């Protein structure tokens, strides 16, 4: 899972650095002209997001099993927020001060930076510090939906019922035309989370026709939704994307996750993958705006495209390690101690009235 996370993050990274064609000022020309073959591959890198969602469904179900609702809440807050806060602040500094930031990107106000720290900037109508943060709003909605099962207590029957009910609601949502249902049930992204949850059930309880059916049905729905999801990415790559390629990549993501769930990949035991998994989240949070700023700076000095990509990737990986080692880990430990404290928990009855 750690290795797959890094593959997904690098896929998205190269999509933004070499696949996006709508910011020619970053490279001084469209990436499609500077490196046409690599651009053709990178144009599909956004599908790393779908792999992230598959992994998220698997990992959330795994991390919640046998734990209380409070443990679930604490684990999500500790996992998401410390690195995110650091990412927001670093990105805001770059956006507000770097002369090489992409054209058209406005500086962030203090209020916008503070709002971004909530991770709720999108529903609050504020521009994300980094464009990739839109996926975190989707993740948060998945966590809220899954909290329903976490509060009741995870069992095979309950989790399977959750998958079935969510899939039904996600499928009917587009025909209903309700903005509220679209926000809650996420018809574009639900198949990936649902498949990830079912894949964890396969990992925990073994393969059976019902669980395989959930995974296959999820992919069938996912390939249909690709027709709609691809539109915004075609705008960014400034060209047509092949449904066949998207379906193959999507199917490959499902298959590799199924291989992991059934133990077919248990022979992969390289210890470095743990470090790779730890770097994934900071890489994802930091790569877009910082990467574009570095690319624009490097092109001002006429650094060729591929050496420049290698240089930028090295910087992002190093910065991500520093964020993980010296910010995310200590902040996560501190936040966990605070949330685990007795005073943070909800009392079973009203506390005594304070004497005045």
In this prediction, residue 19 carries a pLDDT of 96
pLDDT of 89 over the 80 cut: yes
pLDDT of 104 over the 80 cut: no
**CA distance readout (Å), 267 to 49, 62, 202, 203, 264:** 26, 20, 18, 15, 8
Contact 181, 173 (CB under 8 A): yes
Quick one: residue 269, left, alpha or beta (phi over 0 = left, psi -120 to 50 = alpha)? alpha
In this prediction, residue 100 carries a pLDDT of 57
In this prediction, residue 353 carries a pLDDT of 83
pLDDT for 286-310, tens place per residue?
999 999 999 999 998 999 999 999 9
Task: Give 324's contacts (C-beta < 8 A, 6+ positions apart).
Answer: 83, 278, 279, 281, 282
R_g of the chain computed on alpha carbons: 21
Q: How far is Cα 60 from Cα 57, in angstroms, rounded to an integer?
A: 6
Average pLDDT of the residues in 121-133 = 95
In which band, very low, low, confident or very high, does the pLDDT at 342 lie, cut at 50, 70 and 90? low
Task: Give 209's contacts (C-beta < 8 A, 6+ positions apart).
Answer: none
pLDDT of 128 over the 90 cut: yes
pLDDT for 77-86, tens place per residue?
999 999 999 9
pLDDT of 330 over the 60 cut: yes
Residues in the chain: 356
How is residue 41 written in tokens? 């591959």
Percent of the chain's residues with pLDDT above 70: 97
Average pLDDT of the residues in 46-71 = 94
Task: Give 225's contacts (C-beta < 8 A, 6+ positions apart).
Answer: 187, 188, 191
Mean of the per-residue pLDDT values for the chain? 93
Helices 305-323 and 272-300, axial angle in degrees (round to 10):
130
User: How is the chain split among helix, strand and coil, in percent rounded to 5?
Assistant: 75, 0, 25
pLDDT for 160-184, tens place per residue?
999 999 999 999 999 999 999 999 9
pLDDT for 307-321, tens place per residue?
999 999 999 999 999
In this prediction, residue 354 carries a pLDDT of 77
Average pLDDT of the residues in 181-208 = 97
In this prediction, residue 99 carries a pLDDT of 59
In this prediction, residue 106 carries a pLDDT of 86
Q: How far is Cα 2 from Cα 322, in angstroms, rounded to an integer?
A: 18
Contact 295, 23 (CB under 8 A): no
User: Considering only 32-41, 65-74, 308-317, 345-354, which range has the smallest mean pLDDT?
Assistant: 345-354
Nearest to 300 by CA among 39, 102, 104, 100: 100
Backbone angles phi, psi at 87, to 5 degrees: -60, -40
In this prediction, residue 189 carries a pLDDT of 97
Average pLDDT of the residues in 24-36 = 92
pLDDT of 346 over the 80 cut: no
In this prediction, residue 59 carries a pLDDT of 96
Q: How far is Cα 151 from Cα 146, in angstroms, rounded to an integer?
A: 9
Q: How far is Cα 252 from Cα 34, in angstroms, rounded to an integer?
A: 29
Contact 301, 314 (CB under 8 A): no
Nearest to 287 by CA among 91, 93, 30, 141: 91
């Amino acid at each position: 899972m750690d290795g797959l996370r890094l593959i997904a993050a690098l896929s998205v990274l190269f999509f933004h650095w070499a696949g996006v064609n709508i910011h020619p000022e970053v490279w001084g020309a469209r990436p499609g002209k500077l490196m046409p073959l690599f651009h053709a591959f990178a144009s599909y890198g956004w599908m790393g997001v779908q792999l992230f969602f598959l992994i998220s469904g698997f990992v959330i179900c795994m991390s919640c099993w046998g734990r209380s609702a409070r443990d679930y809440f604490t684990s999500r807050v500790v996992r998401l927020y410390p690195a995110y806060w650091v990412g927001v602040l670093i990105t805001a500094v770059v956006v507000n001060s770097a002369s090489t930031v992409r054209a058209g990107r406005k500086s962030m106000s203090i209020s916008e930076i503070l709002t971004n720290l909530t991770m709720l900037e999108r529903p609050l109508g504020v521009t994300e510090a980094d464009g990739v943060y839109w996926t975190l709003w989707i993740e948060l909605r998945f966590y809220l939906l899954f909290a329903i099962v976490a509060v009741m207590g995870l069992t095979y029957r309950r989790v399977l019922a959750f998958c079935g009910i969510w899939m039904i609601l996600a499928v009917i949502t587009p025909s209903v035309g309700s903005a509220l249902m679209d926000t809650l049930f996420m018809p574009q992204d639900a198949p990936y989370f649902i498949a990830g949850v079912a894949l964890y059930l396969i990992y925990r309880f073994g393969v059976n026709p019902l669980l395989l059916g959930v995974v296959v049905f999820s992919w069938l729905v996912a390939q249909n939704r690709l027709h709609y999801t691809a539109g915004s990415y075609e705008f960014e790559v400034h060209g047509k994307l092949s449904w066949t390629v998207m379906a193959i990549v999507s199917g490959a993501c499902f298959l590799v996750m199924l291989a992991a769930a059934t133990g077919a990949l248990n022979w992969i035991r390289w210890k470095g993958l743990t470090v790779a998994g730890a770097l994934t989240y900071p890489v994802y949070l930091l790569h877009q705006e910082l990467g574009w700023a570095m690319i624009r700076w490097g092109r001002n000095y006429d650094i060729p495209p591929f050496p420049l990509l290698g240089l930028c990737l090295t910087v992002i990986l190093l910065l991500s390690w520093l964020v993980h080692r010296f910010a995310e880990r200590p902040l996560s430990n501190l936040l966990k101690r605070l949330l685990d404290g007795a005073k943070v928990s909800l009392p079973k009855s009203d506390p005594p009235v304070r004497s005045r």
